[in-house]
Structure 1
Amino acid sequence: MLVEAFAVGFSCVLVKFGAWWGAMGWDRPMIASTITGVLLGHPVEGITIGAALELVYLGAQSMGGVLPQDYGIGGVFGCAFAILASTRPSVAVALSIPFSMLGTLIYDLFKFWATSLVTKFQKHLEEHRIGAFKRLWYSQAIVYLAMWFLLGFISILVGTTAIKTLVNTIPTVIMHSLTVAAGMLPALGMALLMISLWDKKLAPYFFIGFGLVAFFKGTLIEVAFIGAAVAVLAIIGQLTTTKNLKTQAEHVTDEEEDFFND
């Protein structure tokens, strides 16, 4: 279990590193679960669980530094417990929710500490102590990554056996309820996303995608392929309209210049 705990801790480090430095999107559940699955030696399971968790957290976005749910940590632990406890993806979805909330709490505590260092950073700059400024910055970065590693390492080292025992002792009725609830969570994620994206101009595209799946039994890959083609057509149409407007504006300008020149 020591190796697995180290793998999950390193997964947390990679996910947070890719999210903070460069905003590469490694904290999305799809990527986080895939990284975890690869490090645990189960890449297929990691991708499968990541796809399920991505739907759950589809509408969760960080706005102005405020993180409603740490979906990266939720993706790591949801995948890890599903693989290590040999449980179903629906249970992994249910287990990822509390860890996503725990990740938010830990991140808020870190921000509180990091904010308290602002005066020290400012003092180092005013005194032109660039070396001290860099050391403080690297210390902050090390603490940031170390706390996520410890969260993953300790949680798996101490908690996997307890989680496995808990899953095995859950009655069938409750397990079925968790499965039903997990099936509803993707719909909640879609609803949260639609709240921010819904517009009367975009509504037809939503119903086209719905119709392709509901009436023509299209798969997500087929719908995504058709959606990509429609998006290309929309972009081409927008570029053509912009080009025509620009040409018309230039034509009007040329006519005005000819009028004044005459």
Structure 2
Amino acid sequence: MERVSAKKHLGQHFLTDLNIAEDIAKAVSGHRGVKQVLEIGPGMGVLTDFLLQQEWDLHLIDIDKESIVYLNKKYPLLKDKIISGDFLRYDFGEVFDTPFIIAGNFPYNISSQIFFKVLAEKDKVTEVVCMLQKEVAQRIASPHGNKSYGILSVFLQAYYDIEYLMTVPPTVFDPPPKVNSGVIRLKRNEVEKLDCNEKLFFRVVKQGFSTRRKTLRNALKSLGLSDSMKEDPMLDLRAEQLDVASFVLLTNKLESSWKE
């Protein structure tokens, strides 16, 4: 079969190192006994081959029409499980009525959007094993107090246990990207709902990091802090200094101060 041409506008960089592909596939643990796996952007199936060896109930989704044609020829037995479509807009209820795992070599240009979609589907997505730009991978896995810690770190760590697994050099891709890649694994934790107003929590986190060099007192000013809340010592900190539990506490304090 002819090779699929990598398309810059889709952020495609095809992995060529079989050992790394095998390591990524082996990192899929089947968290909570889940057997269904959705691979995002399989391209020419380098990772797919190793996922199939592990006998997952595998589905593939790719927005690239050329890849879809290639995959249908390469994997005739997966014909009914190869989805031509945009992961970001896809209604997973059409395919998965039970929990599933996400795996893949994520396009750099939409990796953050993919994770916001994962958050929206967090009650179904039990595990994510993926490769993406190293900087983004480190940010997601970063503990609080680190400069790379940010909005996505807090949101994902609220609902997932996250591990940074390995760094992958540009030389193992065709075409090679200009940056290193990182592989991470997320496993759904036991938190069904945060112990606070979740809508307000997301707002507080976003606002807190909007001016990350400033203290939370300044960053959260637009939320309308009460006089008593303005004196709270938590607001002397910067957003990057708070872990998930601290953001939950801060959210509850803010909501309580408005009710006083």
| TM-score class, shorter | under 0.3
More helix by share: 1
Structure with the greater alpha carbon radius of gyration:
1
More strand by share: 2
- Relative to the length of structure 1, the TM-score reads 0.24
The answer to which structure, 1 or 2, has the higher relative contact order (CA under 8 A, 6+ apart) is 1
- Relative to the length of structure 2, the TM-score reads 0.24
